[in-house]
Structure 1
Amino acid sequence: MSTLLSNGISALTSFQRALSTISHNVANANTPGYSRQVLDLSARAGQAYGFGFIGAGVQVDSVRRVTDLFNFARSLDSAAELGRLGELAALAGRVDKLVSDQGTGLTGPWSKFFDAGQGVSTQPTSTAARQNLLAAGEALAARFRSLDAQFKGMESELNGKLRAGVDDANRLSAEIARLNQEIVRQRGLAGGQPPNDLLDQRERLIGELSARLGVNTVLQDDGALNVFTPSGQAMVVGTTSLRLGTVADPFSPDRLELAIETPHGRVLLNDGAIGGALGGLLEFRRDVLDPAAAQLGRMAATLAHSFNAQHRAGVDLYGQPGGDFFTPIVPTTAGHTLNAGSAALSASLSDIAGYRGEDVVLAFDGTGWSATERTTGRAVPLGGSGTAGDPLVFNGVSVVVSGTAAPGDRFLVRPAIGAAGQLSIAVKDPARIAAASPLRASADLANVGNMSVQSLTVEDAGILDFNASHTIVFTGPNSYTIDGVGPHAYDPDAGIAQGGWRLKLEGTPVAGDSFRIAPRGAGSSDNGNARLFAVLDGRGQLDGGNLSLNGALGQLTTSVGSAARHAEYARDAQQIIDTQVRAEREAVSGVNLDEEAANLVRYQQAYQAAAQMIGTADTLFQTLLAAVRR
């Protein structure tokens, strides 16, 4: 009878706890991150009698969560990847709209500017055509400056996002460390039994942290969960959390980087050291924003440099040599914050064909300079010594060093980023547009041969004497003199070159035939130079002369658009994967109300049966007492 009573009591107590667990599951069916809990029941050890063992009832071993550790690890990876791709796709899409939209992109102003150049070529003396070219040039320069300002604004916005993300990550890691402490304490008080609801809270917070920076976890024997960044830097160790922080770039104080504050000092995290939303921000800056800004600046600098060079090769309506059409663009330089010397750098574009646009770090080792690409660390071929007469030369850029550099000093040269913000029109007077060729060539009317002028071009306006006249006299079919100096051998393919100009002729000369080269006067209606700068956009200039400005514009829109589409497709695919991971978790750990309802009925009936057992034991006991009384 005592066995019957004790069995009933154990069953009643166990089923009561089972019903409480079921009610807890039902109450938290819609709680984010909640894992379904179940009771682990086992039979108590039976009591031995001569004829065998009589059972001693049931006991509750534990209340455990129904979880899948592999699914938890997958959910962390999925959250990190979705956070990374979400930021990358959103920001890359904004850059794509900026450069491709008709209202903000370059295509419209670009076409109008070179169309206006064609207008000057068609009507070189027209004030309206010239004014239209200036207006179109200013509109194009303004669009370059606007895009550059937008990119700088996105850089500032990215800094703000980094600060906010770091604050969130620090808050979450501190809360995870606090939960670790509480979980260890409660496990100790409960004899090693798991505090399930705290474990759910901790996993939810770790999932949120992973969405921000990507994490890996390692479980300790005492129940604490250590959290690490993808590169292995500890964020939470036991009950201690380490803090993330932002530090200024040593070359650019307005550019933030991420670092983690360890007991041994601050450790800088490179772009690949973290994932999640913060990793997506850094990846966007490295792979989309910086390349787009560099390509934009490269186009602006190439346009200004090449258009100015061609403009200087002509003469304006006043008969004066053309000056710069655009204000010259100067690459920016910045010294490292730890530099000890007094050196300063000044940079200029020297070779458009070799102009690349990547950021380059120049380092001084005490005896000489070396150059490396900032993003990749690859060595860059470097020439020169850094003096004004022998500047440092790399990637189409010349650098002059003033002052004295100390060993270990480093400088960042940015040939392209920020260049678009410098673009503006230097010419204000329409008559100052140098549409005419500076020289004209003519054959003497007394010439006997059939030779005629094919072309006269300016190859180097820097050494050209715009006011000089020259007389070329052929001494035979294969020789000539210039201003009485010679004879010189005549090469029909190479033509005749001197003092920055080149004259090409066609036909066969006779001894005594002469040609005259003379400067053009004021008010010339010639359009020789305008014909050249009007088609400058289609001339191969970049990448060793293999890429035109039109091609560079196409590369800008295509590369940004491709990056945006790729990020968008990857984000959408990851969203599907994340949904699948969540569904798998719900299938294992989620609360199924139908199942809980069935369990509720089952344990309710078991509870009632246990109560009936206790009632039966009581009846037997009362019967026994009644028998004794008689």
Structure 2
Amino acid sequence: MSDIMRIGISALMAYQSALNVASQNIANADTPYFSRREINFTEFPFDSGVNVSDVRRIVDETANRYAQISNSDYSKWSVYLQQLGNFEPLFDDNTTNIGKFITDTLGALQQIENNFNPNNRALFMSKLAALSQQFQNINGEINRQTQNVSLSLQTEVKQVNNLLGSLAEINREITGSGGVERPDLLDQREALVQELAKYLNFTASVDQNGKLDISLSNGMSLLSSNPPVEFVTLTDPANPTNLNIGVKNGTTTIDVTQLITSGEIAGWINYRTNGLAAAQAALGRLALAFSDKLNTQNKLGIDGNGNLGGNIFANINTASAMANRVIANSNNAGSASMTVNIDDTSQLTTSDYRLSIGASNTYVLTRLSDNTVVSSGTISSFPQAVTVDGFTINVNSGTLSAGDQYLISPTYGAANNLALAITDPSQLALGWPVTASEGTKQPGSNGTIEVKDITDTTTSDFSIPKQLNPPIEIRFTSSGGIVQYSLYNATTSTLIEGPITYDPTSGANIFPTPANYDPGYRVSISGNNIQDGDTFNIAYNTNSASDNRNARTMVQLYQQGSLLGADGRLITFNQGYNLLASDVSVKTNEAAARYETSARVREQAEERRDRISGVSLEEEALNLARYQTAYQASAQVLEIAKSVFDTIIAITRG
């Protein structure tokens, strides 16, 4: 009789537990990272019924690890794509497109080429001002977004620290539970681990006491110390405008930026480096080339007041600009003073460079875009220059120490520095300072003269304002069928050089002369029937207000190669901008593809985990019905046992 009672009671209690487990599973079907429970029964010995041997938390650590890794990768590409998607319109929208602003300046310049008047000169000036402002606007937006990256990194670091603190608290609860398993804590811990994976990559492991540890790829433990380590943001010693990620343990802080390769933190850093910094460097290079080419050509011309032209835009090699292109690493022991001079904008890349100092003042200069050593040697004395890729590093003074590093950024600040240096449209030097004309012309002569180019206005020939020094008269003589010419100072009739044989088949490019006299301009004479006594004159241009020859030459600047292209060939200003916009677009498309792939992988990882640990409502409903039936049957066993017991008692009393 007692056996039936024990069997009934044990079954009733077992299936009540089973009903509790099924109900708990159903209640948490939508709880993130809840791992379903599975109840197991064993037979009591000696016909004593059933026992609940254990309630297992169904979990697969491999599936959880796979979900963690895919979650981290997805988060990285999600942030990177979202930021690039917001950034890309800056370069292809009609209201912000720098390429459109460049085209606008060309259109205004072509109007001067076709119809020279003061209104067109003012229009060209206004278009240059608008272009300058737009360069600064885009550069300012890049700076603001760089600051936003820093703010976001600070926020993410706080989240990481909060999660590590919560994980440390769960560790304390688990290890203090006296060996009693707490499935609820394990589920909470798994949810926190997966949340942490959104921010950075790591390895999670559990020791024999059930204590969780989180470690970075270099083996650094994040939870083993008490209190746990703290993540912090650090000023990048190589570039103070950027924040790096560090781990602080007591009084020691270690930079771990390079160890974080996935998660939202990696996404922000990737966006800063490959999105913002790359675009800013390309924008700066375009600004340098545009301002340098137009400045150089304007200085070869003559303005509306008859003066030689100056810079249209601020000089690209001001003292401050040259100094700002070098950033000394804050950990340097040496005190060297350096500047960077831009020599040839057509040879500039968009890369930054790292100058590393070794023993005995040896150096290695590495182009960071492709990690190529572009120069190496020894800095034996001060000052010393290192010239590569269109720029020169001037090591001016101070001391060098082994281990010192310097970030060389030739394009630094260039887009923001693109500012007009003139305030009056009349200062645009749209004419040439030299005119050439026919003087005495003998009957039957067909000689003509033309100024072909201006090459240098810093020669002594332009040393007197609004004059040539000297003006030149070209006198032709002919004897025995040989035609010759001589150059004279038109003011003093002093012979400069000659006689020089004239070749009528190819014409005469007068300068440089056979004796290498070069006044800084190019003049040619043509005609196959130049007569003895013909003369030609070269003088300073006194009609600059209606001369557009330098404007025509400026138009050609837009049509010729001025920037180094991806294949090593020179490309135009607009092609350079299109290369910049295309690079941003390509990166956005690549990020979209990587995001889609990571999203699918993450979905598969979640499905894999759910197949193992997730709750199936259909299965639990069946279990619930089965356990309820078994529970009711167990209750019936007890009813039968009670009825039998009552019958036996009644017989005994009778």
Q: TM-score, normalised by structure 1?
A: 0.89
- CA distance in 2 between counterparts of 1:292 and 1:547 reads 17
- Asked if structure 2 preserves the Cα contact closer than 8 Å seen for 1:314 and 1:434, the reply is yes
**Structure 2 match to 1:71:** 63
Q: Specify the code of the residue in structure 1 equivalent to 2:472.
A: H
SS of corresponding position for 1:60: strand
Write the deviation string for residues 545-591 of structure 1: whole angstroms up to 9, x where unpaired: 61211110111111111212221233234334333433343333332
**Structure 2 match to 1:119:** 111
SS of corresponding position for 1:234: coil
1:349 is matched with which residue: 326, 330, 342? 342
Change (3 A) 1:110 1:13: same
Is the deviation greater in 579-588 or in 603-612?
A: 579-588
By how many angstroms is 1:380 displaced? Answer: 2.4
The answer to whether structure 1 residue 222 and structure 2 residue 209 are counterparts is yes
- Asked if structure 2 preserves the Cα contact closer than 8 Å seen for 1:144 and 1:300, the reply is yes
Is the deviation greater in 305-314 or in 578-587?
A: 578-587
- Asked if structure 1 preserves the Cα contact closer than 8 Å seen for 2:562 and 2:572, the reply is yes
**Structure 2 match to 1:465:** 461
By how many angstroms is 1:185 displaced? Answer: 2.9
The answer to whether structure 1 residue 537 and structure 2 residue 558 are counterparts is yes
- Asked if structure 2 preserves the Cα contact closer than 8 Å seen for 1:382 and 1:393, the reply is no
- Asked if structure 1 preserves the Cα contact closer than 8 Å seen for 2:142 and 2:280, the reply is yes
Q: TM-score, normalised by structure 2?
A: 0.86
By how many angstroms is 1:442 displaced? Answer: 3.6
1:103 is matched with which residue: 78, 95, 98? 95
Change (3 A) 1:173 1:485: same
**Structure 2 match to 1:339:** 332
- Asked if structure 1 preserves the Cα contact closer than 8 Å seen for 2:200 and 2:262, the reply is yes
**Structure 2 match to 1:50:** none
By how many angstroms is 1:244 displaced? Answer: 1.6
- CA distance in 2 between counterparts of 1:494 and 1:568 reads 61
Write the deviation string for residues 495-549 of structure 1: whole angstroms up to 9, x where unpaired: 4332332334555576856544322125352211111112322210222661211
- CA distance in 1 between counterparts of 2:381 and 2:591 reads 46
- Asked if structure 2 preserves the Cα contact closer than 8 Å seen for 1:8 and 1:610, the reply is yes
- Asked if structure 2 preserves the Cα contact closer than 8 Å seen for 1:76 and 1:215, the reply is no
Write the deviation string for residues 168-223 of structure 1: whole angstroms up to 9, x where unpaired: 0111112112212322333x342xxx321111111111111101112332232222
By how many angstroms is 1:438 displaced? Answer: 1.8
- CA distance in 1 between counterparts of 2:346 and 2:618 reads 73
The answer to whether structure 1 residue 403 and structure 2 residue 371 are counterparts is no
By how many angstroms is 1:42 displaced? Answer: 1.9
Q: Specify the code of the residue in structure 2 equivalent to 1:20.
A: N
Which residues in structure 2 correspond to 1:162-181 (within 5 Å)?
A: 162-181=153-172
- Asked if structure 1 preserves the Cα contact closer than 8 Å seen for 2:299 and 2:311, the reply is yes
- Asked if structure 1 preserves the Cα contact closer than 8 Å seen for 2:353 and 2:367, the reply is yes
The answer to whether structure 1 residue 485 and structure 2 residue 497 are counterparts is yes
Q: Specify the code of the residue in structure 2 equivalent to 1:94.
A: N
By how many angstroms is 1:6 displaced? Answer: 2.3
- CA distance in 2 between counterparts of 1:474 and 1:398 reads 48
Percent identical among aligned pairs is 28
Is the deviation greater in 223-232 or in 109-118?
A: 223-232
SS of corresponding position for 1:213: coil
Q: Specify the code of the residue in structure 2 equivalent to 1:343.
A: A
**Structure 1 match to 2:492:** none
- Asked if structure 2 preserves the Cα contact closer than 8 Å seen for 1:473 and 1:480, the reply is yes
Q: Specify the code of the residue in structure 2 equivalent to 1:26.
A: I
Q: CA RMSD in A?
A: 3.0
**Structure 1 match to 2:410:** 415
- CA distance in 2 between counterparts of 1:508 and 1:405 reads 66
- Asked if structure 2 preserves the Cα contact closer than 8 Å seen for 1:386 and 1:392, the reply is no
SS of corresponding position for 2:198: helix
By how many angstroms is 1:12 displaced? Answer: 1.6
Which residues in structure 2 correspond to 1:68-217 (within 5 Å)?
A: 68-124=60-116, 126-186=117-177, 188-190=178-180, 194-217=181-204
- CA distance in 2 between counterparts of 1:118 and 1:180 reads 74
Which residues in structure 2 correspond to 1:317-332 (within 5 Å)?
A: 317-329=304-316, 330-331=321-322, 332=324
- CA distance in 1 between counterparts of 2:383 and 2:396 reads 12
- CA distance in 2 between counterparts of 1:499 and 1:220 reads 85
Query: Structure 2: 5+ residue runs without aligned partners?
Result: 463-467, 489-495, 513-517
Q: Specify the code of the residue in structure 2 equivalent to 1:403.
A: S
Change (3 A) 1:389 1:179: closer
Is the deviation greater in 154-163 or in 517-526?
A: 517-526
Which residues in structure 2 correspond to 1:489-508 (within 5 Å)?
A: 492=506, 495=509, 496-497=511-512, 498-506=518-526, 508=528
Q: Specify the code of the residue in structure 2 equivalent to 1:354.
A: Q
- Asked if structure 2 preserves the Cα contact closer than 8 Å seen for 1:472 and 1:481, the reply is yes
- CA distance in 1 between counterparts of 2:383 and 2:219 reads 50
2:607 is matched with which residue: 574, 580, 583? 583
Query: Structure 1: 5+ residue runs without aligned partners?
Result: 48-54
- Asked if structure 2 preserves the Cα contact closer than 8 Å seen for 1:109 and 1:139, the reply is yes
- CA distance in 1 between counterparts of 2:16 and 2:607 reads 31
SS of corresponding position for 2:244: strand
Write the deviation string for residues 423-464 of structure 1: whole angstroms up to 9, x where unpaired: 111111221110111222345543777554465212234437
By how many angstroms is 1:482 displaced? Answer: 4.4
**Structure 2 match to 1:569:** 593
- CA distance in 2 between counterparts of 1:371 and 1:159 reads 28
Change (3 A) 1:377 1:489: farther
Is the deviation greater in 262-271 or in 378-387?
A: 378-387
**Structure 1 match to 2:290:** 303
- CA distance in 1 between counterparts of 2:648 and 2:508 reads 133
SS of corresponding position for 2:366: strand
Change (3 A) 1:146 1:387: farther
- CA distance in 1 between counterparts of 2:341 and 2:74 reads 43
**Structure 2 match to 1:441:** 436
SS of corresponding position for 1:391: strand
- CA distance in 2 between counterparts of 1:415 and 1:591 reads 59
1:259 is matched with which residue: 221, 229, 246? 246
The answer to whether structure 1 residue 273 and structure 2 residue 260 are counterparts is yes
- CA distance in 1 between counterparts of 2:548 and 2:587 reads 43
- Asked if structure 1 preserves the Cα contact closer than 8 Å seen for 2:362 and 2:376, the reply is no
Write the deviation string for residues 303-356 of structure 1: whole angstroms up to 9, x where unpaired: 111110011010112221100001123352222223344432232211122212
